[in-house]
Structure 1
């Protein structure tokens, strides 16, 4: 239970953090020169990121240098992505041609009280068998990350959910604390229930992460650690769509349900 308590605390810190989903206040695609709310400057597409044109009085700082003129803001695919800050504690990051603006004092962070979740249940710690693919197969277009990018299929997991045998599609995820990980993007019977129902979960689905064994192996699926996608916290994130194989008929009454405010109302 200590590990689960750490997991819960980490998730709450992530949700309300300065680069957490509740801090994102705008994600604006920049295809032509334009302003971006709520930050100063004029923004335009450029090879490797975006340019910003601002006066020194605007308070835009790129890579620790105040902007007075036009400066390249390197995107997150660069060897060294740019760090952008604005007045009032706001910050910016660039992904492709999208400027994301983060506010650590956002209204959503102020409202957030925690993530509603099911009580821990040892019955939801189950066994499975991971079988990797060998041909570099890519995920079908419906298996997307939070940025809408297709994820490569890593393999599948054979397991049982609600006494029904299933074969779930597994995609690769970013390493976590230096450990390679796999990701299941799943929906289940709780996903379709009204948000006011105490057994409901976010309608678009949830994520379950597994350590990547690197080869065919038995794995443990702790459904108590199922988490919400970033889009459960903000409409500014694209929702990943679970592949048909991962739409589970059983109700997985474990893990995270919804982000809620102090009254218990669902934030979004």
Structure 2
């Protein structure tokens, strides 16, 4: 696990990066041939992604080849997803039938000053007991991702938050730097506070990632590393829904609070 200072720096870089949440300026589902703002070309659904039809002067480049006609833009689920770039510095990626347009010079990036966080507090480094789903079965349906797709439930973490005993649902997360991880999608009492309250956090909740021990084990819960979901940075992202078990009545005064501008105002 990285040190806290490195973790904080990584998060700020991610937020303002060319594929970070602040760079996303459009996410448009393409069901019929149509234009997509703010990029050139006409886009249409196709097996494996989208097609784009453009002239050479439009400046559309797919997989390093300028487009002059109609070409396939392979989606994120392809063995080799396509890379799309445009003459004005914008870029595109395809997920299912949605074209996402990224602007590394977006207004949101220009406004962003950092992620407001609670001060580090060692008392928020606690422990819990992780128990995988019995027999290795992956229960589905109780936790949904941002697209409404059921997530695989890995197990449960039993711990105490404040004075409240909880049994939190843990879902499987993508590997991070080669290590398997678990993810807790949580809301707590700070999520219900007004944004201008210095104890508030993003209303839809936060994430906490844990190293996956691979079996029943004691796990460290460092709530100073609770992070905001992408939807805290842009309305173009949907928020995953915390399961009922992960809606904690106690206040977790640790981790990230809100993305803010130079005045300290919440970005959105």
TM-score range, shorter chain: over 0.9
CA deviation profile, 1:24-70 (whole Å, cap 9, x unmatched):
00000000000000000000000000000000000000000000000
Please state how far the C-alpha of 1:164 moved relative to its aligned partner. 1.4
Aligned to 2:49: 49
Matches within 5 A, 1:134-213: 134-140=135-141, 143-213=143-213
Aligned to 1:59: 59
Q: Is the 8 A contact 1:31 1:45 kept in 2?
A: yes
Moved over 4 A (4+): none
Aligned to 1:249: 249
Looking at structure 2, the residues matched to 45 and 140 of structure 1 have their Cα atoms a distance apart, in angstroms, of 29
Q: Is the 8 A contact 1:27 1:101 kept in 2?
A: yes
Q: Give the SS at the match of 1:234.
A: coil
Q: Is the 8 A contact 2:146 2:241 kept in 1?
A: no
CA deviation profile, 1:160-217 (whole Å, cap 9, x unmatched):
0011111000000000011110000000000000000000000000000001111111
Unaligned runs of 5+ in 2: none
Q: Give the SS at the match of 1:220.
A: strand
Looking at structure 2, the residues matched to 139 and 233 of structure 1 have their Cα atoms a distance apart, in angstroms, of 28
Looking at structure 2, the residues matched to 217 and 242 of structure 1 have their Cα atoms a distance apart, in angstroms, of 23
Q: Compute the RMSD of aligned alpha carbons.
A: 1.0
Aligned to 1:130: 130
Aligned to 1:267: 267
Aligned length: 266
CA deviation profile, 1:119-176 (whole Å, cap 9, x unmatched):
00000000101000135333325x2334443210000000000111110000000000
TM-score by length of 2: 0.97
Looking at structure 2, the residues matched to 16 and 198 of structure 1 have their Cα atoms a distance apart, in angstroms, of 23
Looking at structure 2, the residues matched to 80 and 205 of structure 1 have their Cα atoms a distance apart, in angstroms, of 33
Aligned to 1:118: 118
Matches within 5 A, 1:90-101: 90-101=90-101
Q: Is the 8 A contact 2:128 2:221 kept in 1?
A: yes
Q: 1:7 to 1:266 in 2, by over 3 A?
A: same
Unaligned runs of 5+ in 1: none
Q: Is the 8 A contact 1:159 1:167 kept in 2?
A: yes
Confirm or deny that 1:108 pairs with 2:143.
no
CA deviation profile, 1:64-101 (whole Å, cap 9, x unmatched):
00000000000000000000001211000000000000
